[in-house]
Structure formats: C-alpha cells, structure tokens
Chains A and B, each alone.
Chain A
C-alpha cells in the first residue's frame, strides 16, 4: 500500500515536471507568449467576468474619458486655427 502511494506520488510529480512545471503560485515567469506572463493565483479564476470579482463596468462610464478627450482636441484645434488666422489666441 505504502509502495503504491509512493509510486502514485512520484508519477504525479513526474507528470508535473513533464508538463512544464506549472508554478505553485504566480511568480511571473510562466509566459503564454512574449510579454504576456500573467497567471491567476491559486483559488482565483482565469477570467473574472461572471465571478464574484466581476467589476461589472458600465460601458457608458468607460467611454466618458474618450469623449472628453475628443471634445478637448476639437476645441483646441479651433483655437489653434483661429490663432493662425488672426495672430491672437482666443481661449
């Protein structure tokens, strides 16, 4: 019995090593591809969507910065155009 257990353990360990030794915990060195080495920590999901950690972001909120940036770029472009035409900066 003891022998069987040992055998099972040994082969499990061997299997672990042949599979490229997944780390016991995320240490940043097992990469899916160049520049992409993130792993879920033990007990944490690969994807958080639908999990208890789902941030449930609102798409409308996520897009507000982009909208603000575009509006500023447009106003700035008008100011610069006017400046080039008149030689005077009008905010």
Chain B
C-alpha cells in the first residue's frame, strides 16, 4: 500500500511537471473539456447531469415561459423496461438522447428525429448478488459524456451497481474500456453518475451502511488507466492533501486528523463514501463534492470527530489533492451523509466583494455557502427553522453548536430529532437562477426517533447499528403521513427565502430553473410541476405514470424546446412500496414515513418528454412509418 501510494505520488509529481512544461511552452493544452464547456452553453444539449460545470440546472431557454406553460403537453415517451427507482436524467448531445436505468444499468441511445428508434443499447451482465448490498434501492444517478478528440471518439460513461465503470463509444455503444471500481464482496457498490472533466472520469463510492471507507478515483478516458485515488479517512498520504491544505482556514483542521479523530483502526471501516454530485471550476481547475457519513450509525462505537467524513472538498482535478476540506457534521450521530449537490455561483457578499462561491444544501438541514477558492465559510443557514440538532453554525469557528437534547447515544431512544436521517435535503440535484440569484431547493420535511445498538463488523454485511423511525416534520401532517416536502427559493447571501411552498411528499428529485421564469420538479406522488420562479405559484402539472426521483432536464431540438423527466418511483423513500415492507422502522426508518405513497403511485420506469402543445417529430405522420 505504502509503495503504491509512493508510486502514485511520483506519478502525480511527474504529471504536474509535464503540465507546467507544456504551459511554459505556450501550448495551452487544447483539452477535450474545453469542447465540453462549449457544448454546455448550447441549449441544444444537456451534456452532464448538472447541465454545466457550475451544476446550476439553469437553462436560458424561454420558449416555454410563465405565460404559455399551461400549454405544455406530452410529446413522446419511452419505457426503460425496468422497475425500481429511476434517478438522474437523460443526457442530450446533438441528435441523440442517452437514457440510463437502475440495475442492471442498461443504456439506450435514441434518435431525437425519430425517438421511437433505439439507435443502440448496452445491457450489462452483472452478478445479481449486487442487489443485496445496495442499502437504498438499486438506483443509478446517470451517465456522463466525453466529447472526443483526435485520438479517441466521443464516449458515454456509466457506472454499474456491481462496481464497474464503463466507457462506451457514444455513436455505437461498443465498450471502449471497463474497469473495476468496487467489490460487492466487501459491500462496495456504485450508484453515482460518473463525472467528466478534462480527460478524466471521476467516480465516487457507495456502501457506508456496510462500513465501506469512502474513496474517489479518476480514470484516463483514453486508456482506462487510474490517474489517482484518494480516501475519506486514514493517513494523510491516502486522503491526498496538498501541503497548503486548509492554510486559509487552519481552524478547520489540517494534518493527521484522518486517524487522530478516530479510536485505533476504526477509520478503516469509517464510511465517508461519496455517491452524490460534483461541480467543477475550469479556471481554478478544482472540483467539489461532499463525503458521506461515518460508519456505523451507532455513534458510541466510533468516538471522535471522524474526519474527513461529512466534508466539503475542494480538490485539484489534475492530482486529486485537496486544497480545502470543511467538515460540516463532526462526529455524525444522525446519518446526515454529506454528499448533496454543489452549485457554483459568482455573487457579491455582504461586504460587496465579488466572490466565487459554492452553495450546498446538506442532509443536516444547513445550506452552506463557501468561497470555492479558499474554503472560507460565507454563510450557513437552516433550510427550515425546525432543524434542532444544531442551534446554529458559528461562522467564526466554523463549528455547529449542537443541542445535546437531540443527540443520539447507546441506551437511549432520541425523539423528535430534525432532520431525519433522510435529511431535510437528499440526493436531488437542485438549481440556481443567476439572474434572480435564487437557489430553488427541493426539500424533505422529515424528523425521526433513533436508537442505536451494538453490532460487529463483517466485511460484506450491513453495519448500521441503529433503529430509526422517520415521519413528517412539525409543519406537516404526521398523523396522516403527508406534508413531508417543501420547495423554497433561497438567497445565499441574505439567507432569506423569496418563497416557500409545502408539498405532500418529500421533493426527492431536485429542480430545474429556466429563463422563462419557471421552476420545474417532479414529485414522489407522480407529478411533474412548474412553479413561478418569482412567487412560487403553481402554474402547471401533469400526472406521470409513476413517482419521480430524478430531475427535469430541457433541450431545444430543431427549434422546439422540450422538457424531459424520468419517472419510476423508488430510492430510499419508496423502499416500502418497492420491497413490500410494512414495519415502520424497516427500510432504515423510511417505511413509516412514506406509508401513504402506495395510495398515490406504483412502480414504473421511463422517460416522458414535453413540449408546447405536445409538438413532436411525429407531427409528421410519415416519420417512422414502414415504407415499401
């Protein structure tokens, strides 16, 4: 291991050197991600899950707007042929839409000029045992796209539940390479979408509920070679810290904390997996993500701050080394897995200084805004005032001031903790409107009771150690199992909400904003909705075949703006429905909270595409017809 790390460091050093030599030679490396930046700006495309490197899910398209959104109708649909939760969203590049599915993670390419035609499909063969080590349904958050260069054609990159990352020729669907990035026999799976920046594919990890120590890995798109791999816990040489790590904020902690904040070797099964989302700043060449919860859920079995789980990372894309790390939830006691979306913006702070920012609505109920160059904490506001584990986050010390009444510990059943383990915010990918300077947050309103228990660690088995009962929060209707969702428009500098709306169920799938003054999102009870970006007024909705846990996306094809969304309920909130469970504490406490869901939706799986008046390629009746 040590030798491996050393080798890696030498390699990294060489790469850095080579990079600077090229730079000195004046040959600004015409890297493929420049092409990806260009493609992102064109509203014909939706080339990554976050739409662009800022991950703002914001489209400048306004053909569909406040005035005419009532005319939005289904244009065409596609069934994936699978059930279970359909997270993420399709990608669109030029004439092609790329669709992914939950396990066994099939991929379909359809031609937008004749979407009834499947251009290619990729159906992996996977060990069905992979299903047994997925904590929270066999979901997958989507595909990534790399635009190609003179050496290598364009690629669609996917992750598989069984731990593989696969690069497929975007034109033909043929496998370019397939690497192992997780071993189900030790509880590792993959649900996260790969992320492409420069010529690298970044892939995270899953399995903190099985004691998996989190890791993030980069692979060379051309060759499948591993460029770097760094961990969330353990020695600094394995976490990957720059010499200057946290120099701008030494009070966040700096060296040796990946072991010192644990007792003995508990960090080896310490969680911190990252299965959420990334953002990237091409100017700083830094990428951002959050590491997940420590293992096990039983806090008494792991004294210490448990660094660097629950951490917002700013890392150098070339080496993967961390410039800053801010731990949001030291010594987690609630499974507030810190993996949620990172949205980048440029705004003036309270002193009038223009800042490059990242904004991040966490599971723990706090929306964090940091300077994305230095890691400076700019704001940390409760997304709902009912969050009670923390009194407030002290911006000076960066520490959350805990309320001991809502802590968890052995020999005690804690009650009415807010948020629940499911968070006030989960994996949904939200949006930011740079004109209005508002973040549109799809929120959960869920609280819980929690009681830990002792358990041993056995590689490949669950390592949770807590019984949990989740339920709608104080502003919902706990008795009737509804009122567990909210949608809010948030300003990260003032900390104010422009508007707040309750939803019947948790808004799990994220939001999308457009210059048409609209905020789109799907709901667990099976609607896609559009609200007024300024007032939150509900302007349109359509009943999908099943609940939505992915985000809407939009693209313009041949002059027509389309809005598309996956349907197919599942993920953590719907495990009761999906796996036919009744005990309210089953499904890691989700079953009780969502017992009403089955009266509103059943499983499904597909994509629905909308346009004004349902305009579609099939308005020309001859398209796709059999011809002699």
Contacts and interface: CB of A to CB of B under 8 A. Distances in A.
B254 A28 contact: no
Given A25-B404, A28-B400, 8 more contacts: A27-B404, A29-B401, A34-B253, A35-B254, A37-B399, A46-B303, A57-B264, A68-B185
Given A27-B401, A70-B1, A77-B225, A36 B181 contact: no
A26 B407 contact: yes
A38 to B, nearest CB: 5
13 contacts: A26-B402, A28-B402, A33-B253, A34-B254, A36-B257, A38-B304, A48-B300, A56-B456, A61-B458, A65-B188, A65-B459, A66-B1, A80-B177
Contact of A48 (B254, B301, B397): B301
Interface residues of B, number: 63
Contacts of B399: 28-29, 31, 37
Contacts of A53: 300-301, 410, 454
Given A28-B401, A70-B4, A83-B177, A59 B265 contact: yes
A44 B302 CA distance: 12
Interface string B387-409: 00000001001011111100101
A80 B224 CA distance: 6
B327 interface: yes
Interface of B: 1, 4, 175-183, 185-186, 188, 212-213, 215, 220, 223-226, 229, 250-254, 257, 260-261, 263-266, 268-269, 300-301, 303-305, 307, 327, 330-331, 394, 397, 399-404, 407, 409-410, 454, 456-460
A40 interface: yes
Contact of B251 (A34, A38, A72): A34
A15 B361 CA distance: 42
A49 B253 contact: no
A29 to B, nearest CB: 6
A70 B8 CA distance: 13
A34 B252 contact: yes
B270 to A, nearest CB: 10
Given A34-B250, A73-B4, A83-B177, A62 B457 contact: yes
Contacts of A80: 177, 179, 220, 223-226
Q: Which size class do A's interface residues fall under?
A: 35 or more
A17 interface: no
A72 B301 CA distance: 30
B415 to A, nearest CB: 17
Given A29-B401, A65-B213, A38 B303 contact: yes
Contact of B179 (A29, A59, A76): A76
B404 A62 contact: no
Contacts of B307: 35
- Residue of A28, A57, A62 ringed by the most chain B CB atoms within 10 A: A28
Contacts of A33: 253
Given A28-B399, A64-B186, A65-B212, A57 B269 contact: yes
B266 A79 contact: no
Interface of A: 24-29, 31, 33-38, 40-41, 44, 46-49, 53, 55-59, 61-66, 68-73, 75-77, 79-80, 83-84, 89, 91
A38 B305 contact: yes
A29 B397 contact: yes
Contacts of B250: 34
- Residue of A24, A46, A91 ringed by the most chain B CB atoms within 10 A: A91
A78 B459 CA distance: 26
A76 B165 CA distance: 11
Given A27-B401, A28-B399, A35-B327, A76 B224 contact: yes
Contacts of B225: 76-77, 80
Contact of A27 (B215, B266, B402, B460): B402
A26 B407 CA distance: 9
A71 B460 CA distance: 16
A32 B177 CA distance: 48
A89 B266 contact: no
Closest A-B pairs by Cβ, 3 of them: A35-B253, A25-B404, A64-B459
Given A34-B254, A35-B253, A75-B180, A68 B330 contact: no
A28 B403 CA distance: 9
Nearest to A91: B178
A58 B463 CA distance: 14
A76 B226 contact: yes
Given A72-B181, A73-B4, A48 B263 contact: yes
A53 B465 CA distance: 12
A70 B180 CA distance: 11
Given A55-B266, A63-B268, A36 B456 contact: no
Contacts of A36: 253, 257, 260-261, 304-305
Contact of B268 (A25, A41, A62, A89): A62
A84 B301 contact: no
- Residue of A46, A71, A83 ringed by the most chain B CB atoms within 10 A: A83
B397 A61 contact: no
Contacts of B4: 70, 73
Contacts of B224: 76, 79-80, 83, 89
A91 B186 CA distance: 21
Nearest to A67: B186
Contacts of A59: 265
Given A57-B265, A62-B265, A89 B176 contact: yes
Contacts of B410: 44, 53
A39 to B, nearest CB: 9
B250 to A, nearest CB: 6
Contacts of B303: 38, 40, 46-48
Nearest to A66: B1
A58 B268 CA distance: 11
B186 A35 contact: no
Contacts of B261: 35-36, 38
B457 A55 contact: yes
B212 to A, nearest CB: 7
